[in-house]
Amino acid sequence: MKKYILSFAILLLAATSSFAQDITITLAGGSTDIAGQIHTTYLTVYGDDMDLVDFDVFNNSGVNKTWVITRRIMNETPGWSNYFCWGAFGQAGNCYDAEPDEYFYSDTVTIVDGNKGLLWTYISAPTTGSALYRYYITSADSSSYEDSVDLQVNAFVGIDELSEKELSIFPNPSSSVLQIKADIIDASLTIADLTGRVHSVQPFNNELSINVAELNDGIYFVTVSNKNGEAKTERVLIHH
């Protein structure tokens, strides 16, 4: 299998807190442990070599660990492909060409106790569809899986790709009320966070005001979808 080396600088600060688990997996720069869970991301623009989600993998075991990333394709829309990069904090890492095999194994990387590795994920998604990838943190000899994280990718057709209709959301950022407008009727509106958790689903006809004062600070996805399955998604920032 062809492999090429791509140096990438890992610039995020190393975590200084201690964890009960041997392995903690978070979104890059985040603090919530999502090891063993599914992280969902959404696409409305399609193309090649898109940076999807970056994960921090912390070694809290008390000893240095040498790990392999095992990527498993759980399911994938035909014509899609993905690749990833894996390296230790503060060092150059390796990136790997997209491989169609269900399982693909990275080179070994040693993560010093109390430090982290960075797993960068990329995708080529030229069409609508979905995929589910699982990334195992694997022992150096690839004989055992020590933990994992799943990445669910959903790509939707945007309304603006099918017509000249636009989705307008303001103010953005917002601390209290979102004003949402689009020239579309008999639709539904959904607000979801970065984890894929849905916080609101409401009927939508041309415009809607939504109180977001009780949502936590962060990035959310506002999606308007009609009865034909056409959808338009915009990011909004909630900041109090």
Q: How far apart are CA 187 and CA 202, in angstroms?
A: 9
Same fold, 3-155 and 159-238: yes
Domain locations in the chain? Answer: 3-155, 159-238
pLDDT of residue 165: 59
- Range with lowest mean pLDDT among 45-59, 70-84, 176-190, 199-213: 45-59
Q: How far apart are CA 53 and CA 67, in angstroms?
A: 20
CA dihedral 49, 51, 55, 56 (to 10 degrees): 100
User: Which class is domain 159-238?
Assistant: mainly beta
Is 90 exceeded by the pLDDT of residue 15? no
Amino acid identity, residue 69?
I
User: Which class is domain 3-155?
Assistant: mainly beta
Mean pLDDT for the stretch of residues 10-22 = 40
User: pTM surpassing 0.85?
Assistant: no
Q: How far apart are CA 26 and CA 90, in angstroms?
A: 17
Which two tokens mark 166?
Answer: 């636009």
